Chain A
Amino acid sequence: MVIGEAAIRAGCRFYAGYPITPQNEIPEYMAEHLRQVEGGVFIQSESEVAAIHMVAGASAAGARSMTSSSSPGISLKQEGISSLAACQLPAVIVNMMRGGPGLGNISPSQGDYFQATRGGGHGDYRVIVLGPATAQEMADLTMDAFTLADQYRTPVMILADGMMGQMMEPVVFKEPQPRVYPEIYIMKGAGAGKSKFIRGLILDPLDMEEHNWTLDRKYQVIARKETRHELYGTDDAELILVAYGTGARIAKGAIKRLRNTGLKVGLFRPITLWPFPTNELRDLAKKVENFLVFELSTGQMLEDVRLALQGFARIGFHGRPGGVVPTPAELANVVTRQYDRKQGIIEHH
């Protein structure tokens, strides 16, 4: 609901999607409200694959476009996301993750981190991935997602989970930024001018290689300029939790409890999951050597944390996959166990 309203305020005028729990609140909201704004089009498509390609079409025609789904549906959309990346078309894709693999269940999970942050579909590409932890941040990041998508002409994914998808919290909408984008690529009829075309099929290997390097240069700029993170209680921390989204909320609850018992625990929360705030995390290892990654998965972001910290710090892990949402008390117990241990890698399952 929050995402829907934020998207419309940000100028989204095209939404296509196919229903799946736990994210039906978004298409429900868009169905009602998108038609009330000028030029707004809502389509309940015949499939997830159709929806993402409709988004590609609308984007190529110059509309701010969005689709949303949950894990199994996002897998289906990967062909189209790869295409969007290849064609350098802006679009916003929302994934309210649920338990998997397969059809899994409809409970909150963070099992799609690998898929989202490594591109998702085939080919040499990345997608900007934003991981909100509150309803307020869902509103803010949805607006930012459209800006980033236009700025870099690339698909942007909002990666949240079933809990974020159904929970309600008070929100204040910020003023959307005016749209800035190069109209040059937009397909809206050549008129008397030269015809344009957008393609993802580039048969000559040398041309394709050149295209890959073009994309890569863009991704490197994004990686350099667009990382975001939040620090919470890290100033005096002796152990730092690394968690995102719903996991970070639980971590904050655990930290409040732990600080009441005198344990100095802080939180590093990546807000951009790709690009991952590697350098910002590594900076923390200059003064802290004890880290614990917490995810609603068997350990996916854990690999990015290892890439940032391996050799610099000790990295523990606690994960609950499959749609289980542990309590702050459970996580606090795990942290307490690792807090005083000085050696060895510990993995809690």
Chain B
Amino acid sequence: MLVKTIFAGFGGQGVLIMGYTLAHGAMSAGYHVTFLPAYGAEVRGGTANCTVAISDDEIASPIASAPDYIVVLNTPSLYTFQNRIAPGGSLFLNSSIIAVEPSRRDIRIFKIPSAEMAEKMGNPRMTNTVMMGAFLKNTGLVTPDIYLASMEEVMGSKKKSIIEINRKAFTAGFEYSEEST
């Protein structure tokens, strides 16, 4: 088994931490894993993406030319990456700010209003965590327990209250069930 996922969005939306936490979770679950970040010179507002490869065997290339899953948090990332998804793969998009329709018809598409959900819960910065809940619900790459344990470890230095609202955000995303199209 070899599964590759690209997470992409604006710098500041937390796409690198999503991928890093997933990689950490997959590592605790005993898989081979690589995490490859790519970001521009800008800190906020620029583009950022990362590739996570998870396998039960040694991983040759950490780069994904035809990823199984793509998670996009903004519209430019949708344009950049949708053509790369392997046929039969899945696209997860932040439908709160992505208004355009993906052009691909041979993939599964999950529209998650993650930014609105995060805002409703009181903190738009949790958009990434809501999305992660929906992503893991539909891909099952690692169990929620493992992901949340990794999240706590990765966010180690943050306040308890921030970890707690992220747990809630993850659960909200995990329980969100708008059927895929």
Q: List A residues at the B interface (Cβ < 8 Å).
A: 163, 166-170, 249-254, 256, 325, 327-329
- Taking a contact as CB atoms under 8 Å apart, the answer to whether A163 and B36 are in contact is yes
Q: Which residue of A lies closest to B30 (CB)?
A: A170
How does the 8 Å CB contact mask read for B5-39 relative to A, with 1 for contact and 0 for none?
A: 00000000000000010010001000011111110
- Taking a contact as CB atoms under 8 Å apart, the answer to whether A167 and B34 are in contact is yes
Main secondary structure of the interface of B (DSSP, over half): mixed
Q: Complex formed: what's the CA distance from A169 to B54 in Å?
A: 11
Question: Which chain B residues border A166 with CB–CB below 8 Å?
Answer: 36-38
Tell me the smallest distance from the CB of A283 to a CB of chain B, in Å: 25
Question: Which chain B residues border A327 with CB–CB below 8 Å?
Answer: 61, 63, 65
> Is B122 an interface residue when CB atoms closer than 8 A count as contact?
no
- Taking a contact as CB atoms under 8 Å apart, the answer to whether B23 and A328 are in contact is no
Question: Which chain B residues border A329 with CB–CB below 8 Å?
Answer: 65
- Taking a contact as CB atoms under 8 Å apart, the answer to whether B60 and A169 are in contact is no
Tell me the smallest distance from the CB of A98 to a CB of chain B, in Å: 14
- Taking a contact as CB atoms under 8 Å apart, the answer to whether B61 and A167 are in contact is no
Tell me the smallest distance from the CB of A221 to a CB of chain B, in Å: 34
Q: Complex formed: what's the CA distance from A256 to B37 in Å?
A: 25
Question: Which chain A residues border B59 with CB–CB below 8 Å?
Answer: 169, 249
> Is B58 an interface residue when CB atoms closer than 8 A count as contact?
yes
Name the residue among A249, A252, A254 with the largest chain B CB count within 10 angstroms. A249
Known A-B contacts A327-B65, A329-B65; A168 and B60 likewise in contact (beta carbons under 8 Å): no
Closest CB pairs A-B (n = 10):
A253-B60, A168-B35, A327-B65, A170-B27, A252-B60, A167-B36, A167-B62, A249-B60, A253-B61, A250-B61
Question: Which chain A residues border B65 with CB–CB below 8 Å?
Answer: 327, 329
Q: Can you spell out 22 A-B residue pairs with CB atoms less than 8 angstroms apart?
A: A163-B36, A167-B34, A167-B35, A167-B36, A167-B62, A169-B33, A169-B34, A169-B35, A169-B59, A170-B27, A249-B59, A249-B60, A249-B61, A252-B60, A254-B60, A256-B60, A325-B61, A325-B63, A327-B61, A327-B63, A327-B65, A329-B65
- Taking a contact as CB atoms under 8 Å apart, the answer to whether A252 and B62 are in contact is no
Q: Complex formed: what's the CA distance from A170 to B38 in Å?
A: 19
Known: A168-B23, A327-B65; 11 extra A-B contacts, CB below 8 A, are A166-B38, A167-B34, A168-B20, A168-B35, A169-B59, A170-B32, A249-B62, A250-B60, A251-B60, A256-B60, A327-B63
Q: Complex formed: what's the CA distance from A310 to B38 in Å?
A: 40
Q: Which residue of B lies closest to A251 (CB)?
A: B60
Name the residue among A167, A250, A251, A253 with the largest chain B CB count within 10 angstroms. A167
Q: Complex formed: what's the CA distance from A254 to B62 in Å?
A: 13
- Taking a contact as CB atoms under 8 Å apart, the answer to whether A328 and B61 are in contact is yes
Q: Complex formed: what's the CA distance from A76 to B26 in Å?
A: 40
- Choose from B34, B37, B58 the contact partner of A252 (Cβ within 8 Å): B58
Question: Which chain A residues border B23 with CB–CB below 8 Å?
Answer: 168
- Choose from A170, A250, A254 the contact partner of B33 (Cβ within 8 Å): A170
Q: Complex formed: what's the CA distance from A249 to B32 in Å?
A: 14
Q: Which residue of B lies closest to A135 (CB)?
A: B34
Question: Which chain A residues border B20 with CB–CB below 8 Å?
Answer: 168
Question: Which chain A residues border B58 with CB–CB below 8 Å?
Answer: 252
Tell me the smallest distance from the CB of B53 to a CB of chain A, in Å: 10
Tell me the smallest distance from the CB of A272 to a CB of chain B, in Å: 21
Question: Which chain B residues border A249 with CB–CB below 8 Å?
Answer: 59-62
Question: Which chain B residues border A167 with CB–CB below 8 Å?
Answer: 34-36, 62
- Taking a contact as CB atoms under 8 Å apart, the answer to whether B35 and A328 are in contact is no
Question: Which chain A residues border B60 with CB–CB below 8 Å?
Answer: 249-254, 256, 328
Q: Which residue of A lies closest to B57 (CB)?
A: A256
Q: Complex formed: what's the CA distance from A194 to B74 in Å?
A: 69
- Choose from B32, B34, B38, B61 the contact partner of A168 (Cβ within 8 Å): B34
Question: Which chain B residues border A168 with CB–CB below 8 Å?
Answer: 20, 23, 34-36
Tell me the smallest distance from the CB of B87 to a CB of chain A, in Å: 15
Q: Complex formed: what's the CA distance from A229 to B35 in Å?
A: 26
How does the 8 Å CB contact mask read for B149-176 relative to A, with 1 for contact and 0 for none?
A: 0000000000000000000000000000
How does the 8 Å CB contact mask read for B43-74 relative to A, with 1 for contact and 0 for none?
A: 00000000000000011111101000000000
